[in-house]
Copies of this chain bind each other. A is one copy, B any other.
């Protein structure tokens, strides 16, 4: 039988976590700032902000290079470790973004499959998922599950596989340019949310199919992307 013309035919969602479901981006930014300062590199903070959503290792390499500094692998590892420590110290300040929980529950109730794909480490992903206060732990993939973090599409592809969804049915929701680029490379529709601090224009330039404010706004607009609850 030929594929049905409606696309997505059986929609499924792949959600980024930081800045998309959890209001954690600015905590990450300041944790990185302190971590880099401690290994001797003072960085303009906006450069860190614009790299959030990449894996920690990739982010560290890129911002250090942009700053014209050089760090040994041991110093990079140290910065990553310190970032994790400072980030967890401020974890109490991290809350779900408006409408995140309601959106996920509504999708589940309607039988629309969804999965979480986070560039973070496993302990961080688990701590964040806990904050969403869901009835059961949802399927998720994190940095440990793939060799290459976003903007490589591996993570989104692994997430689709986890819920046995076709990439053509997947809508990847994220707040970062790196999410949108990974979605396009994975041949998924990318939907951008500005609640992580990127602007709508930046997300559109990175091929966002549509851009919304936050999970609540996406929830109210699902029909625009072909999902009827």
Contact = CB atoms under 8 A, between A and B. Distances in A.
Interface of A: 23, 25-27, 29-30, 33-34, 37, 42, 44-46, 49, 93, 95, 97-98, 194-199, 201-202, 205, 214
A196 B26 contact: no
Contact of A197 (B27, B197, B201): B197
A30 B98 CA distance: 18
Contact of A26 (B49, B93, B205, B214): B49
Chain A, interface SS category: helix
Contacts of A33: 26, 93
B93 A46 contact: no
A34 B195 contact: no
Contact of A46 (B30, B194, B201, B202): B194
A44 B30 contact: no
Contacts of A26: 26, 29-30, 33, 45-46, 49
Best-surrounded residue of A30, A205, A214 (most CB of chain B within 10 A): A30
A195 B30 CA distance: 15
Contact of A195 (B44, B95, B201, B202): B44
A96 to B, nearest CB: 10
Nearest to A68: B98
A21 to B, nearest CB: 12
Given A25-B45, A198-B199, A199-B199, 17 more contacts: A23-B44, A23-B45, A23-B46, A26-B29, A26-B30, A26-B33, A26-B45, A26-B46, A26-B49, A30-B30, A33-B93, A34-B93, A42-B95, A44-B97, A45-B197, A199-B202, A201-B205
